[in-house]
Structure 1
Amino acid sequence: MGKAFMRSITGSLFLVLLLFSCQENEEPGLDARLAIDLLDVKYSEDRPNQLLDIYLPANRNSNTTKVFVWIHGGGWIDGNKSEFKGFKPWLEEVQDDYAYIAINYSLYNISSGSNRFPTQEEDIKKALAYIKSQLSTWNVSDQVVLAGGSAGGHLALLHSYRNNEDKLVKATVAFFPPTDLTAFYGFSLFTNLLLENIMGGNPTNRKEVYFNGSPLNFVDSQSVPTVLFHGDTDTVVPISQSKILEEALIAKNVLHMAEYVIGQGHGFSAQTNKELIGKMQGFLEGVLD
């Protein structure tokens, strides 16, 4: 009886130790029944501004919960991920079962000259790689929409057309984006000064950098479905930047939607944004699984 008791105790202790060992090696999960906000999550250790805000919905799952990723604007020199808070309620009105992610990226520093392009492009690549690595932990699907406005729209398009080798991004959305930096140069004295600084020169002496930084140059027949919105009185990024991209999408038979807003410029009214986001969602529902 004593030996049997000792064998029982020994077996129980072994089982307890095994369970603790498994628990220590497992990454703690997030309760998919609850809505969870994960703020200021680092996606890389290279620079301090490489942060994400992640908004996970309640009752999400890896089969149906899509992911909408927003890249902020600001001319590659300003802005931050808090911009997304203005768009989030409008998105939630028309989207069901979506997780949202807002990306910070390294801004070009005019005074020091640090973080020249393509630093911003590289940050978006790192952010998307991190997002991909966390999809199962967050309990969301790999149906990712990459979107942004102005400089953020440029970075969203550039990643979607040039750096989406793993096909993680299934559709892209851009509000009034620069699409051809060579053509964008010369639009205004401000544009010239900005591009010469951030690109390290002009389109003549930095031809390759301008080419590689232009989403237009990477459109092909396999490009992801695209949504474009642009105002016809935009004095910051001319409407021609979206129109030349639309022409390329048509030429390559890429599924897309483009809408040009009459009488509005670089930034739309709240009502216009709500209407456009509704139209965007109608398009996305037709192209996402």
Structure 2
Amino acid sequence: MNPEEKSIAVKKFMDLHECNIEDHVYGKVGGIELVATIYTPKIKPSELTKAIVYVHGGGWVGGGRDHFNSHGAYFASKGIVGVCITYRLVPDHKFPAQIQDANCAIRWTRKNTQELNIDPNEIYVCGSSAGGHIAGIVAYAGAVNAFDAAGGNEGVSSDVKGAILFCGYYESREDILEPRAPKPNKVSYFGGTYDEIPEVYQQASCVSYVNKHSPRTLLFHGDADGTVSFEHSKKLKDALDLNNVENQLIVENGGSHTDYSFEKAAFMTTLKEMEKFIL
């Protein structure tokens, strides 16, 4: 499926899953407006519903909030609000700016639960690749001041009920998971190499924050991923298991980093697994 065919197919999919779609500014940092696309049910549910805050991938240097537009529409048609966010990117904004933005989006969502008809205790975070790393920090680090200090709605909780993570970079403390010559975007994101600033890589480890109070987690990863090693999900699952946190790792046998894209066979499978996890 080429890009044009994919665009047409995504539009047809979204048309089949009718919902309301609006853009909102969820925060402001240094004059930068942080925008989210909000997907809400076409007909307002009679009871409070759940919400998913989606964090796009793109190696911390690119991507956009339309990454999860098909997810947003699908789940909104099931009665679940979707909040697909933009966040600040490198090289202009290094770690932890991206974490701060995602936490800000959680706070905005919780602050607006009445308008969005959301149960404030039923907010989930979902991220893919670099977005998986960001969402993982949001889910497990809790109210770390350095991560929860910008954008607006300060004082509102950024806790989440659960995390849904696709092929993310979860363990930054161990070079064994990556080549010794790291990718330039990773160096730009962290502000240097592991050897130069190990303390930053330690601070950025999702695995390091897992504890017995961590939220339930659903993981997806292809075991042949050549972009982000499958070992990252194994390390995270081990930490969750060690702390008796409810979790599930769904492995795409022979799967690559892009096997969860809209045009791939695994796409609908992941939607159904997410639906079971949330509902």
State the TM-score, normalized to the length of structure 1. 0.78
The residue type paired with residue 102 of structure 2 is: I
Identity %, equivalent residues? 25
Which is strand-richer, 1 or 2?
Answer: 2
Deviation per residue, 1:67-117 (Å, 9 max, x gap): 01110000100001011124335545xx721111101000002xxxx2011
State the alpha-carbon separation in 2 of the partners of residues 106 and 53 from structure 1.
Answer: 16
Partner of 1:115: 93
Q: How many angstroms does 1:35 deviate by? A: 5.4
Are 1:214 and 2:205 counterparts?
A: yes
Amino acid paired to 2:56: H
Separation in 2, partners of 1:140, 1:246: 29
CA 1:215–1:68: 2 relative to 1, 3 Å: same
Q: State how far apart, in whole Å, the 2-side matches of 1:185 and 1:77 are.
A: 24
* Alignment partner, residue 153 of structure 1: 132
The answer on whether the counterparts of 1:64 and 1:97 sit within 8 Å (CA) in structure 2 is no
Q: 1:205 aligns with which of 184, 196, 208?
A: 196
Moved over 6 A (4+): none
Give the corresponding residue for 2:106. Answer: 128
Q: Given the superposition, is the C-alpha separation of residues 184 and 52 from structure 1 closer, same or farther in structure 2, using an over 3 Å criterion?
A: farther
The structure carrying a bigger helix percent of its residues is 1
Superposed counterparts of 1:51-70, under 5 Å? 51-61=35-45, 63-70=47-54
- Secondary structure of the equivalent of 2:173? helix
Matches within 5 A, 1:68-217: 68-91=52-75, 96-109=78-91, 114-142=92-120, 143-163=122-142, 166=157, 168-183=159-174, 187-188=178-179, 191-217=182-208
Inter-CA distance 235–124: structure 2 relative to 1 (3 Å threshold): same
Preserved contact between residue 75 and residue 81 of structure 2 (Cα < 8 Å): no
The question of whether the paired residues in 2 share the 8 Å contact of 1:180 and 1:215 is answered with yes
> Which residue is equivalent to 1:276?
270
Q: CA RMSD in A?
A: 2.4
1:254 paired with 2:236, answer no
**1:181 to partner: Cα distance:** 1.4
**2:133 counterpart letter in structure 1:** H
The amino acid across from 2:140 in the alignment is Y
Unaligned runs of 5+ residues in structure 2 are 1-17, 145-156
Larger radius of gyration between Structure 1 and Structure 2: 1
Structure 1 portions without partners, runs of 5+: 1-33
Taking a change above 3 Å as real, the CA distance of residues 41 and 190 of structure 1, as seen in their structure-2 partners, is: farther
Go from structure 1 to structure 2 and tell me whether the alpha carbon gap of 1:232 and 1:84 turns closer, same or farther (over 3 Å shift): same
Residues 49 and 151 of structure 1: CA distance in aligned 2, closer, same or farther (over 3 Å) = farther
What's the offset of the Cα at 1:129?
1.4
Q: Specify the SS of the correspondent of 2:36.
A: strand
| 1:41 matched residue in structure 2 | 25
Match of 1:259, SS state, is strand
Aligned residue identity for 2:278: L
Equivalent residue pairs, number: 246
Counterpart contact for 1:61–1:140, Cα < 8 Å: no
